A = this chain, B = another copy of it.
């Protein structure tokens, strides 16, 4: 009956953003010490290891780990800094220690060496900055909450970091239509609170919600936990304001559900990871806040039964089904072993979490109970439990959501984020497990089954080039054979740009490169990302 407002495990992995009040006072004087990369400031856990000063090992510079050559961009000069200072007085950051967190991604896997962080507050300032960079041939790394998984949000070399952190104003909210218009730097969790207070919800929800910016969500076409119910950002984002490489402001910030006047340009920028333009404002359609949320956690004897349970839920729950997640028994062992979470049902080869969100607690509970009776009686499910109160709902969600955390405590983790036809989804996990044998500590599969999205994770005592060689390109080739996606929701960024061709034909890659050249002829926007280097 209560709305599911659980922060889930995000607090463990990300840090809570500055409060709403703070977000709204940014128009006043904002000192240089208020950085765009919040982790560094606030979270003792997150801070740990973020700079060499803290005592943990420094992250190796990206060009030292990866075969990448700096392109012939200009280098930031004193004159450039003076020009930036004229555009955004007092918001040009050059202190190396302050720059450290913005140069390193949150997974601590890549590290740039940018010498300057710019913190504009308006689209006009972004426009002036880009106009200058374009004229001077300076490369730019647009940065939101820096919560990406593929190294797309930090510089590779010395790109100018352009942070959206101070662009955090709600521009308008329409309480009949649920259309929210806001600047790109608004933190997702803050927006969630804002619209929930008005009886709506954001159409997306992510573990990183406490840090990620809505502009970054759109730039990476973030998926997440509400995708099954509310669909892709390509449908829910109604308008964008974008600054192009040369500083042109492209205002497509409409608040219309329907608009068939010419090509839908905003789609170019959704999911383009900052390589085609810098998103400065977003118009997004928020669904009404559901009045009732129920969660069931079920044990299934096999993957075939998981699939049949999914079909049953789709058929019987219909419009109230809001999540269908799965995890295998190894995931359950890991959350038990490392996090001491208790399995609420009898041990099973697979577990599924079913969530409903609807407008009548009584109706929804009746529907879900009907499903549970059917799947238990037919043997699709061997045991199950259902929660309607928030505490138990949180407990059940934690089993699924804290898998990432449990894995990180198990050792070095090789991570794959794959889309596959659902009936083949788990075959990849079995194949990889067989292929690696005792070389891997654990090979686990879990994810958003309702969206055909598998998270395949492999743990080992430490990073091993040999294990990596056994995994890649095997996993990508396997996925390509099923016409799957080698990046379901994480994007390509820096670390996956070279696997694009496993999911896209050469004609598509060529057209993407043409688009890049058309929109960013000097290639200054987030270089070395998303697209493979041209031959």
Question: A residues near B, CB below 8 A?
Answer: 174, 176-177, 199, 220-221, 223, 227, 231-232, 234-236, 244, 248-252, 254-265, 267-268, 270-272, 276, 288, 290-291, 307, 310-311, 314-320, 357-360, 363, 366-367, 419-423, 448, 451-453, 483-492, 499-500, 502-505, 507-509, 511-512, 514-515, 518-519, 530-531
The residue from B257, B307, B315 contacting A451, defined by CB atoms under 8 A apart: B257
Copies per assembly: 2
- In the assembled complex, the CB of A523 is this many whole angstroms from the nearest CB of chain B, namely 15
- In the assembled complex, the CB of A511 is this many whole angstroms from the nearest CB of chain B, namely 6
**Is there an interface contact between B264 and A260, defined as CB atoms closer than 8 Å?**
no
- In the assembled complex, the CB of A433 is this many whole angstroms from the nearest CB of chain B, namely 23
- In the assembled complex, the CB of A488 is this many whole angstroms from the nearest CB of chain B, namely 4
A31 to B488, CA, bound (A): 45
B contact residues around A227 at 8 Å (CB): 257-258
A448 to B360, CA, bound (A): 26
A530 to B507, CA, bound (A): 25
B contact residues around A420 at 8 Å (CB): 256
A251-B507, A310-B176, A508-B250 known; A220 and B267 CB under 8 Å? no
In the complex, the chain B residue whose C-beta lies closest to that of A484 is B256
**Is there an interface contact between B314 and A234, defined as CB atoms closer than 8 Å?**
no
A234 to B423, CA, bound (A): 25
**Is there an interface contact between A221 and B487, defined as CB atoms closer than 8 Å?**
no
A277 to B190, CA, bound (A): 41
- In the assembled complex, the CB of A364 is this many whole angstroms from the nearest CB of chain B, namely 9
B contact residues around A176 at 8 Å (CB): 307, 310-311, 422-423
**Is there an interface contact between B260 and A268, defined as CB atoms closer than 8 Å?**
no
A257-B451, A271-B260, A319-B319 known; A252 and B504 CB under 8 Å? yes
A94 to B511, CA, bound (A): 35
In the complex, the chain B residue whose C-beta lies closest to that of A250 is B507
B contact residues around A363 at 8 Å (CB): 360, 363, 366-367
The residue from B258, B359, B503 contacting A453, defined by CB atoms under 8 A apart: B258
A73 to B173, CA, bound (A): 49
A95 to B519, CA, bound (A): 45
B contact residues around A267 at 8 Å (CB): 234, 264, 267-268, 270
B contact residues around A236 at 8 Å (CB): 231, 235
**Is there an interface contact between B262 and A421, defined as CB atoms closer than 8 Å?**
no
- In the assembled complex, the CB of A435 is this many whole angstroms from the nearest CB of chain B, namely 23
A-B contacts, 9 listed (Cβ < 8 Å): A199-B315, A234-B264, A261-B502, A263-B271, A290-B318, A318-B359, A319-B319, A360-B366, A518-B518
In the complex, the chain B residue whose C-beta lies closest to that of A272 is B263
The residue from B232, B422, B499 contacting A235, defined by CB atoms under 8 A apart: B232
B contact residues around A234 at 8 Å (CB): 232, 234-235, 264, 267
B contact residues around A515 at 8 Å (CB): 263, 518
A231-B235, A311-B176 known; A512 and B452 CB under 8 Å? no
**Is there an interface contact between A252 and B508, defined as CB atoms closer than 8 Å?**
yes
A129 to B251, CA, bound (A): 38
- In the assembled complex, the CB of A311 is this many whole angstroms from the nearest CB of chain B, namely 5
The listed residue with most B CB atoms (<10 A of its CB), out of A251, A315, A504, is A504
B contact residues around A509 at 8 Å (CB): 262
- In the assembled complex, the CB of A84 is this many whole angstroms from the nearest CB of chain B, namely 24
B contact residues around A488 at 8 Å (CB): 256, 258-260
In the complex, the chain B residue whose C-beta lies closest to that of A292 is B318
B contact residues around A288 at 8 Å (CB): 314-315, 318
The residue from B261, B315, B512, B531 contacting A485, defined by CB atoms under 8 A apart: B261
B contact residues around A320 at 8 Å (CB): 319, 359
B contact residues around A263 at 8 Å (CB): 268, 271-272, 276, 512, 515, 530
**Is there an interface contact between B271 and A421, defined as CB atoms closer than 8 Å?**
no
**Is there an interface contact between B235 and A177, defined as CB atoms closer than 8 Å?**
no
B contact residues around A491 at 8 Å (CB): 260
- Known pairs A221-B260, A234-B267, A258-B448 / 20 extra A-B pairs, C-beta < 8 Å: A176-B311, A176-B422, A223-B258, A244-B507, A248-B507, A254-B503, A255-B483, A256-B483, A256-B484, A258-B452, A258-B488, A259-B503, A260-B485, A261-B487, A262-B508, A262-B531, A263-B268, A263-B271, A268-B268, A316-B359
